[in-house]
Structure 1
Amino acid sequence: MHKKMLVTVAAVALSTTLFAQTKPEDTEVWEPVPAVVTPGKINTDAPSDAIVLFDGKTLDQWVSVKDPSQPAAWKVSGGILTVDKNTGNIQTKRSFTNYQLHIEWRVPKNITGTGQGRGNSGLFLASTGPGDDGYELQVLDNYNNKTYVNGQAGSIYKQTAPLVNANKKPGEWQTYDVIWTAPKFNSDGSVQSPARVTVLFNGVLVQNNVALQGPTKYIGKASYEKPHGACPIKLQAHGDKSEPLSFRNIWIREL
């Protein structure tokens, strides 16, 4: 077969494959399953140059995603922030570019459900706007809960599985420590350098300076479809039926 014809056939095959991705399952990866490790104790105190995003008392640093002119309406009690699925997602008032972020989260001890329906939430490392949620670091109970590996806790959802499974038991506090490097774009909107992320999950490295393919997509491959600058950070009120998650001790250092 002629070389040009081979190239054309390959291009058509690739195009057909991309357009065939019309179901959520098309981008679910189940193997290899990350090994299980036991996390040790870590230091969680905010350093002196950190911006405290949640101090256990108020949600002054957060607003509603549905209407950013309105305050966030999740529940604050006993130093803990609990998801309220009725009021929807929340995001920071401020926008950030490059940063170090610390956040602690807890799945209820009596959690029920399986797979993605077991304590599902998400930390969006840069919330890029309506119709394009941003870059999601998955929050989920995967202590003894099988799901597709690029959708388990510690994954960059539907992109990169965690290096290991560092989940603690339901009812115990978990921690994410994140180093986020925002993407850069050329004047024509093309990508100059992709977003990169490093994540420690309960003190264990699970994402090692990973280059991202673009903002999260539930269906189809992630891609950079529009340039953006500094963005808020978002917490997700997922629509599953499991008990709501809680967060505490959220702080950030701009880099």
Structure 2
Amino acid sequence: MHRYFSCFLLGLCLPMLTAAAQPNELPSTAINLQNMNDFRPTGSNWKIVGDVFYDFNKTGKGSTKAGTGILVNDPSGKSKDQLFTKMEHGDIELELDFMMDKGSNSGIYLQGRYELQLLDSWGVKTPGAHDCGAIYERWDESRPEGQKGYQGHPPTQNVSKAPGLWQHYKIVFRAPRFNEKGEKIANARFLKVIQNGVTIHENIEVTGPTRGPALPDEKPTGPLVIQGDHGPVAFRNIRYKAYGIEPVTLTNLKLNAYEGKFASVADFNALTPKREMDISVLAHQAPGSRDKFGGRITGTIHIPRSGQYLLNLNLRWIPAETNPANPNGAGELSIANKPILSISGKDGGMASALVNLEAGDHPITLAYYKNFGLWYARSNDILLGIEGPGVQYTTLNQVIRAEDPVGEISVMARNEPVMQRGFINHHGVKHTHTISVGEPDLVNYTVDLQKGEFLQIWRGDFLETTPMWYGRGETQLGVPMGSVIELSGKPSLALLADQNAAWPDSNVTYNNLGYDIDKAGRPVFKYKLGAVNVQESLASTDDGRKLSHTFTVTGDQPLWCRVAEGRDITELPNGLYAINDKQYFIELPDKQKPVIRSTAQNTKELLLPVKATNNSGTVTYSIVW
């Protein structure tokens, strides 16, 4: 829940927000894809279109439709130019969607010098330094044969999708640093690269330009450059945040510490602090009670540039799930004696605010209290993050702790299918009776056994179980380690009077009968829908590129299978169906024609009838992603 009020700081208006579910972000700057005006003049291989189709079965058979919003490269003619942005950057956070043609190759050069690889790496089990997501190698012709390429960095795992599907990159890049003489004093770094929701690089140093740079030297700034001479590729939603090098800082921190239980931070005004001390990090570091205390931290915040800033505050001893009738703490943040944001503790320990701040140094005050501790929210640290014009999101004076040595506890599917029962989050809701199945070829899925719902699929490593198995457990959740696609979560089968009847949110006649294990080690789920017996199975096929989903039913009732639901469902020229704006494909056997219909929620559904012969029927389809 958010609450707003207006106040004034340094002559500028401040909206105040209370506890947010997660940290907010300032908007990015978009590169205009209505025309080519944000790019330097280039060859005819680059153009703006409204839609693009690449067939994952056939190389070079793509097609486009007129319109705007998508940037495509078609190097099939004489022109094979690189594409340069007019914008030049130093430190940058870049996000974009991209789509590969079958067998295609391209790359994004940060500052025109440091390449993040684009490649059709669909189905590759062990990615190398040339695969999609790799930070490409450097090259030196003077080195021995076979060693000319060096310092390439493969992605930690391959989460690349099929050609013809939209994929996503988020890149956080730190430019090289130079002194007053122009001499390089620090190398460039890819601070983080996220592909399709999975972190594939973190804090990777690049000692110089990678192979084939558009600009072979190193400078503080440079344009984005997209490779145009290797193969067809498409882009959309290109946006960025460019940063300077002067940070926001928090200095001269002093803590007044109180002990006891409090109803409001205003209670401190009538009290003498138990301790007064200098601190360097944001945490309640005073000796005394760990669970019944209050504090008022004062200091100086330095703002490098005037403009709108976003602040996120998190009192970490207040959990996201808390009893609003009995919160265990609260807090308030002020700058220049004007309130910026508050946390009541009734709906969690996080809050965010957008504020207009002038450049310079300003006094800051953070008051807080904690009335009791919770075993699953043990930390007494405080997180204060800030982002603003030319300022990358920074967590100020954060505590770095090393006393907890626990590492990742994970389950991997190495040589045979692996099953893990437990809790899973799906669309923000905790499902407590799930089974997740991982295949050795990096295809995974989750089913809710209590409700008979197909919840999610993901490509990549299987499951992290640290929140389930370490200590008493925290959230108790299993966390997929690969790139997740959350499905709608409704029943896959239902008894419908006809094809126009609304799909139910749940099957009241669903009766779970457990599951068997087939010869390959995969589960075969058994249940009844009324008088109909169902066996449901899923299996990785085509060397991990597809997931086959099969239902075998026994009974004589009008069953339908809901294959997919999404914002849109589009039949493609190759006979497949694209779901959710090419998030994944559905492949039907024998060119079977489904029913595609609209719902009351403005979504689309793809249905197949379960055709029974001699009281028995089978429905099969494949998910391709």
Superposition pairs of residues 7-22 of structure 1, within 5 angstroms: none
Output the amino acid matched with 1:234. Answer: V
SS of the counterpart of 1:102? strand
8 Å Cα contact 1:100-1:253 kept in structure 2: yes
2:38 aligns with 61
Superposition pairs of residues 68-83 of structure 1, within 5 angstroms: 74-78=46-50, 79-83=69-73
**Structure 1 stretches lacking a partner, 5+ long:** 1-46, 67-71, 112-117, 128-133
2:211 aligns with 217
Task: State the shift of 1:238 in Å.
Answer: 2.6
8 Å Cα contact 1:64-1:88 kept in structure 2: no
**Number of paired residues?**
182
CA distance in 2: counterparts of 1:125 and 1:191, whole angstroms: 17
Task: State the shift of 1:189 in Å.
Answer: 5.1
CA distance in 2: counterparts of 1:217 and 1:206, whole angstroms: 20
1:250 aligns with 238
1:103 aligns with 96
Output the amino acid matched with 1:180. Answer: F
8 Å Cα contact 1:64-1:73 kept in structure 2: no
SS of the counterpart of 2:129? helix
Task: State the shift of 1:171 in Å.
Answer: 1.2
8 Å Cα contact 1:98-1:180 kept in structure 2: yes
The 1:175–1:124 alpha-carbon spacing in structure 2 relative to 1, beyond 3 Å, is same
1:119 aligns with 2:104: yes
8 Å Cα contact 2:208-2:218 kept in structure 1: no
Superposition pairs of residues 47-196 of structure 1, within 5 angstroms: 49-55=27-33, 57-64=34-41, 74-78=46-50, 79-85=69-75, 86-108=79-101, 111=102, 118-127=103-112, 134-145=113-124, 149-158=128-137, 159-187=152-180, 190-196=183-189
Task: State the shift of 1:81 in Å.
Answer: 1.0
Give the structure with higher Rg (CA). Answer: 2
**TM-score with structure 1 setting the length:** 0.64
1:234 aligns with 225
Higher relative contact order (CA 8 A, sep 6+): 1
8 Å Cα contact 1:100-1:254 kept in structure 2: yes
Once the two structures are superposed, what CA deviation does each residue of 1:61-97 show, in whole Å capped at 9, x if it has no partner?
111368xxxxx86121112111032151111101111
1:208 aligns with 2:202: yes
SS of the counterpart of 1:233? strand
8 Å Cα contact 1:189-1:226 kept in structure 2: no
Output the amino acid matched with 1:140. Answer: L
8 Å Cα contact 2:127-2:155 kept in structure 1: no
CA distance in 2: counterparts of 1:154 and 1:121, whole angstroms: 11
8 Å Cα contact 2:107-2:115 kept in structure 1: yes
CA distance in 2: counterparts of 1:73 and 1:53, whole angstroms: 19
SS of the counterpart of 1:169? coil
The 1:50–1:73 alpha-carbon spacing in structure 2 relative to 1, beyond 3 Å, is farther
Task: State the shift of 1:140 in Å.
Answer: 0.4
CA distance in 2: counterparts of 1:253 and 1:149, whole angstroms: 29
Output the amino acid matched with 1:143. Answer: W
SS of the counterpart of 1:163? coil
RMSD of equivalent CA atoms: 2.6
Task: State the shift of 1:227 in Å.
Answer: 3.8
The 1:84–1:147 alpha-carbon spacing in structure 2 relative to 1, beyond 3 Å, is farther
Task: State the shift of 1:139 in Å.
Answer: 0.3
SS of the counterpart of 2:96? strand
8 Å Cα contact 1:64-1:89 kept in structure 2: no
Task: State the shift of 1:232 in Å.
Answer: 0.3
Output the amino acid matched with 2:202. Answer: N
CA distance in 2: counterparts of 1:65 and 1:151, whole angstroms: 26
CA distance in 2: counterparts of 1:212 and 1:190, whole angstroms: 16
The 1:90–1:64 alpha-carbon spacing in structure 2 relative to 1, beyond 3 Å, is farther
Output the amino acid matched with 1:251. Answer: R
More strand by share: 2
Identity %: 30
Task: State the shift of 1:247 in Å.
Answer: 0.7
CA distance in 1: counterparts of 2:40 and 2:126, whole angstroms: 31
8 Å Cα contact 2:35-2:48 kept in structure 1: yes
Task: State the shift of 1:246 in Å.
Answer: 0.8
CA distance in 2: counterparts of 1:194 and 1:65, whole angstroms: 30
8 Å Cα contact 1:123-1:235 kept in structure 2: yes
Task: State the shift of 1:166 in Å.
Answer: 1.1
Task: State the shift of 1:49 in Å.
Answer: 3.6
Once the two structures are superposed, what CA deviation does each residue of 1:31-60 show, in whole Å capped at 9, x if it has no partner?
xxxxxxxxxxxxxxxx754221144x2122
**Structure 2 stretches lacking a partner, 5+ long:** 1-24, 51-68, 138-151, 244-625
1:13 aligns with none
8 Å Cα contact 2:209-2:217 kept in structure 1: no
CA distance in 2: counterparts of 1:164 and 1:213, whole angstroms: 23
The 1:82–1:51 alpha-carbon spacing in structure 2 relative to 1, beyond 3 Å, is same
CA distance in 2: counterparts of 1:65 and 1:194, whole angstroms: 30
SS of the counterpart of 1:162? coil
